[in-house]
Amino acid sequence: MTFIKICGITRLGDARAAVTAGANAVGFIFARSLRRVSAAEASAITDHLHPAVNRIGVFVNATQERILEVADKVGLDGVQLQGSETPEFMDGLRRARRSLLIFKAIRPLSAGDVAGAAAYPVDAVFLDPRDPDNPFEPAPPIPVSWLRDVSAARFVVAGGLSPDNVGDLVSTLRPWGVDVSGGVESGPGKKDGVKIRAFVRAVREAEAASR
């Protein structure tokens, strides 16, 4: 099954909606963002979630000490590194906390970027084609050929996804996972339960049609 993460959670009701819809993980942003939450706010949400749901914290160029501090306070199952973190940093984080899932996000500009990221010492690589200087501008889809020679790697496609386009993406690219935030919102940080259910349904229907 395709791994589905609903990111940018700021409210308990939204986290529960994601879990009820069948998402595998919920994400909390601990970096500058309209959806940023504090460790205390995230902890108040995770305390009420089923342990089977992965709790992922999103960080941008945070120190290892800061990441582990928040992970312990919130009860994170994994971290998503969105900055310029090096493979050495990821490896050090892995050694410091072997039980923690580690994801790394990159903006791929070529097949070489994807192939290089496949070698990172992480559990999955998030491919987000959006321009960080213009995050709300539509980004072109990642070419299928970029994933063809690295099919064994765990890639999560993110950026610009919605219930309307995720089904086609899953059918075409067949990624290990997908990640969505704004595409299932009624406003920044305010998730829409109907959109979340539609997103998860589109993924599962695309999976079934591809079998």
Question: Which positions are annotated as active-site residues?
Answer: 7, 128
DSSP-assigned beta bridge partners for residue 78 = 56, 101
Question: Can you tell me whether residue 96 is helix, strand or coil?
Answer: helix
Give the amino acid at 182. G
CB atoms within 10 A of CB 48: 10
CA angle 14, 66, 189 (to 5 degrees): 20
Residue 154 Cα to chain centre, angstroms:
12
CB atoms within 10 A of CB 72: 11
Give the amino acid at 202. A
The two three-digit tokens of residue 207, written as one number: 């999976």
The two three-digit tokens of residue 142, written as one number: 């990642």
